[in-house]
Amino acid sequence: MAIQSLNDIITAMSSGKSQRTEWNKIFGGSAATAGRAYDFSGLGGNPTANTWSGSALAFQECDDTTTWSMTHGGNVTPDIKHLLNLGAITTAATGVPGTLLLVDVEGYWPGISNNTTSAQTLTGTPSLRSTDGKGLRLFWSQTAVAGATAQNIALSYTRQNTGGTDTGRSLAATTAMTASAIVSHISHAGVAANNYTPFLPLGGGDSGVQNVATVTFSAANTGTGALVLCKPLFALPLGIVSVYHSMDCLSQFPSLPIIPDGACLSWIFIAGGAVVANTTFAGHIQSIWD
């Protein structure tokens, strides 16, 4: 059944159908750049850092047993699980302003080279929690440092199931990658020309992605990355240093996003300032089900 009233929430919490999970991440040894976005799954802390396991170019499924996923209460079917509230803090003045975006990572294609202009064929068929692909988005996470050579990224992908011709879709616009010394930089996210933050721009009329066939770069560069398939769940703004920012998904921002069984929960951070190295971010998520 679904939560339909405050009484349902009180009953669920009083019967133990809720979990609060604490997390913390250390930004790392290099400073971030204002306006860029970063994949927190690759950072150390709790949960542990993503090491991008799996074979190059082959889709790697992710779920709540993935070591770098935040826990949220396990499988609860036939109950339905929701995000009830969440919060975060940073103790570095340069960590604000910024925005944390909670995502459910369906999986990723690792080991994609920045150092070729040939189309790289991706393999595997994602077994999606969002079965028709609606609402699923893509971002590129740099897994080894990219050089300074300018390059654009292009994809051929399968959009959400529309009942029509869904394969062979292209990005909506020229999308530029930006050089970065920071592993976990979402390289197409920033303030340079043709940057897009934090997700790659889908073709017109496309509201989601089911699969990706190829990745092609316009010029050869150094580095490797992973193409990540995820579903955005909630955005949490951070505005004041050393102040805990929280959001109630029932009364402050009525939404109660659904957390499906098996969800692999992680964060994207959109930097509003030049975040200094070794900045700590910490917070919590609380789930509830009935």
Give 13-66 pLDDT, tens digit per residue: 999 999 999 999 998 767 788 899 999 999 999 999 999 999 999 999 999 999
**Which backbone phi and psi does 41 adopt, to 5 degrees?**
-60, -30
Q: Report DSSP state, residue 203.
A: P
**pLDDT score at 273:** 85
CB 28 within 8 A of CB 44: yes
**Distance, CA of 161 to CA of 206 (rounded, Å):** 10
**pLDDT score at 31:** 78
Give 83-105 pLDDT, tens digit per residue: 999 999 998 898 899 999 999 99
Mean pLDDT computed over 162-167? 82
CB atoms within 10 A of CB 197: 17
**Distance, CA of 106 to CA of 85 (rounded, Å):** 22
Instruction: Give this prediction's pTM.
Output: 0.95
Provide the terminal-to-terminal Cα distance of the chain, rounded to the nearest Å: 6
